[in-house]
Structure 1
Amino acid sequence: MSHAAEQTLLLGQGKGLVGVVTPPLPPADGQVPREDPPFVIILNAGIIHRVGPNRLHVSLARALSADGFPVLRVDLSGLGDSAAREDGSAPLDATVADIREIIDTLQATRQVKRVVLMGLCSGADHSVIYASTDPRVAGVALLDPSIPRTTGYYVKHYSGRLLSLRTWKNVAMGRHPLWKLLKKRPAHEVPAEEDGAASDMAAARPAVTLEHPEVRAFLENAYGRALGNGAQFLAVLTSDRERQHNYRRQLQDAFPSLDFKGKLLIEYFDRCDHTFTTLASQQRLVGLVRRWMGESAFR
């Protein structure tokens, strides 16, 4: 696939954020050019450089460029080639500020009015959290976002194990994790110093999971506000994240108070790893993203 010449940009108030723009290719003969297409911004996946895992971001950018969309692959502050922020912001606050400065720069220099945010893992979470704060975000493409586990998740999780011959063999042979729980030392056998220290640490660092009411409410509020701003959603879940999500409708079931009103396309990729390593899984993902971008009525 041919692609347009890519350009390096310095973005943000201090020009410390580094990104690469893949401009849209001109339409082929007989094709109608896109009128004012949204600018796609692909965020870092964790601490991985802007090329993305297995060059996934490059593949997405060049495919969308061929469809007439401008795409920016960007390093947030402290990642890849971008300088760290010096204002002492907390990590999430710094990310939100970075994204706002990136969009502000594109608006000031390229008259960009609306964007689509795209990201894998932490990039997905940052996309929806930021989209809740800025109506310029017309769409979000979420690859393996954080989703609280639901009743449906546990039903599928445990029903599969109950039907597994290996599970029953492990129970019978004493190798199942259940036996480890049963064999834990009673509290009176734990030395007083060890028991006290463990209790103090547990009290100081209570477990916080996606299912914690405050975390769930925070995510539900983010999705709700982004929907209220009119954003379109694409969510892709992979079977590699089975400990977090294991069926297609889990996103809707996790936030039953939200009505996506036809603004959500969601797919579950079975036998697919989290970073879309194989060529087949990347091609499937790129095809899905292209279809969603082409069919979505971004406001």
Structure 2
Amino acid sequence: MQQPGDISAVTFTSSEGNTLFGTLHLPAQVRQELPVIVLLSPGVKMRVGPGRLYVPLTDALVEMGYRVFRFDFYGLGDSSGELQETMLADVYNNIEVGRYVADSRSAIQWLRQNTGAKKFILGGLCGGAITALLTAEREPDVEGLLSLGMTVTLASNAATPAKYLTRQQLDSRRQGYYRRLLQPMSWWRLLTFQSEYGVIWRSMKRLIIKDKPVAQAAPVAATAEQRGNANPLFPPAFFAFLKRGGRALMLFSEKDRLQSEYEEKFAAPFAEQLKPYLPQLQQHIVAEANHVLSFTPWQKEMVAVSRGWLQGLHGAK
């Protein structure tokens, strides 16, 4: 039987019949009233996260008195199962529309049965964050989302970047083109049809054509043309979670495209619908950080902000 302060290897069977492997961390003094925090694997990474990102976060959460569970989705890490896709973008796309929701719900059920947990906070980076949200839509016992770089778009459109880059991304690309004007290799790529002509055109077009005002839309009313490659599952899931009182930390990295995509493809189009729920949301941007928070100062800031958010929710120290 697991004792307070233990770190235990866990195996359980998912609802789809796969054997999943995970790690359960218990604090020295378990506070049963606190929810269990489940950190979900990002993309095709295993349960420690890229560069072991989840390890310092787990240590900090356990120190606060939370039980923390991390596990590998099927086809990843130590868990059984195989991924059938040959293109990585297709793997990401399937994650973004809920591939690992069943595994996450199975983990929650295992935790209910084996730890007595009644409430949960789901979190993770990128694909882990969207999986957390889509799971929370189906699991009313999920009271919080610890979202690190939530993705609100679909990776299946990655082959056509010119069509879906945000305004911020286009402006950044244009500045890069200016810097390379005197580089012979850049002109060689342009003249030998190796450049991203669609991206170049759209970035330059912004100098002469102003953006149209963003129209307000109902959570399910925005058309595919209006929102481009925005994930159609995101708005209804997010609003359903907020409507029942869910709280979310939306943490982004400044140098990550996901922050501008969240603003332009969700926060701005749905600004009016979001207004009643703003007290339930805390947003933070880690300055200069990249997608996976590679450097220790960025990770420390992420951990500190996560701790502060949780202290606000439960008064945990």
TM range (shorter): 0.7 to 0.9
Q: Does 1:137 align with 2:138?
A: no
1:237 aligns with 2:252: yes
Say whether the 8 Å CA contact 2:166–2:260 is kept in structure 1: no
Alignment deviations for residues 27-78 of structure 1 (CA, whole Å, 9 cap, x no partner): xxxxxx8461000001111111211111111111111000000000111112
CA distance in 2, matches of 1:210, 1:147: 14
Instruction: Give SS of 1:45's match.
Output: coil
Moved more, 171-180 or 222-231: 171-180
Q: Distance in 1 between matches of 2:306 and 2:37?
A: 11
CA distance in structure 2 between the partners assigned to 1:63 and 1:209 by the alignment? 43
- Quickly say closer, same or farther: Cα 1:218–1:93, change in 2 above 3 A: closer
What residue in structure 1 maps to residue 217 of structure 2? none
Give the structure 2 partner of residue 11 of structure 1.
Answer: 12
Residues 182-208 of structure 1 show CA distances to partners (whole Å, capped at 9, x for unaligned) of 9xxxxxxxxxxxxxxxxxxxxxxxxx9
Structure 2: distance between partners of 1:232 and 1:173: 49
**C-alpha RMSD over aligned residues:** 3.5
The residue type paired with residue 258 of structure 1 is L
1:261 is paired with a residue of what secondary structure?
Answer: helix
How far apart are 1:122 and its partner, in Å? 0.7
- With 72-81 and 11-20 compared, the bigger mean Cα shift is at 11-20
Choose which of 30, 36, 42 in structure 1 pairs with 2:33: 36
Please, which of 91, 98, 103 is the counterpart of residue 103 of structure 2? 98
Q: Which residue does the alignment assign to 2:162? A: none
2:297 corresponds to 1:280? yes
1:160: Cα distance to partner?
5.7
* Corresponding letter in the other structure for 2:237: A
What is the deviation of 1:143?
Answer: 1.1
- Number of residue pairs aligned between Structure 1 and Structure 2: 256
Distance (whole Å) between structure 1 residues aligned to residue 282 and residue 172 of structure 2: 26
**Does structure 2 retain, via aligned residues, the 8 Å contact 1:25–1:67?**
no
Query: Which protein shows a greater Rg?
Result: 1
Matched with 1:295 is 312
Q: Alpha-carbon deviation of 1:133? A: 1.4
Listed one character per residue, the Cα deviations across residues 246-274 of structure 1 (whole Å, up to 9, x for unaligned) are: 39855522533334231111111221121
Segments of 5+ residues of structure 2 without an aligned counterpart are 84-93, 155-164, 199-223
Structure 1 range deviating more: 169-178 or 114-123: 169-178
- In the other structure, the counterpart of 1:186 is none
1:119 correspondence with 2:127? no
Deviations 1:76-113 (A, max 9, x none): 11211111289xxx765541111111111111222211
| Residue 67 (str. 1) matches residue 64 (str. 2) | yes
Q: Could you say which residue in structure 2 is the equivalent of 1:25?
A: 28
List alignment gaps of at least 5 residues for structure 1: 27-32, 183-207
Percentage identity across paired residues of the two chains: 23
Whole-Å Cα distance in 2 between the matches of residues 8 and 254 of structure 1?
A: 44
Measure, in 2, the Cα distance between the counterparts of 1:297 and 1:210: 39
Matched to 1:22, the amino acid is H
Partner amino acid, structure 2, of 1:16:
T
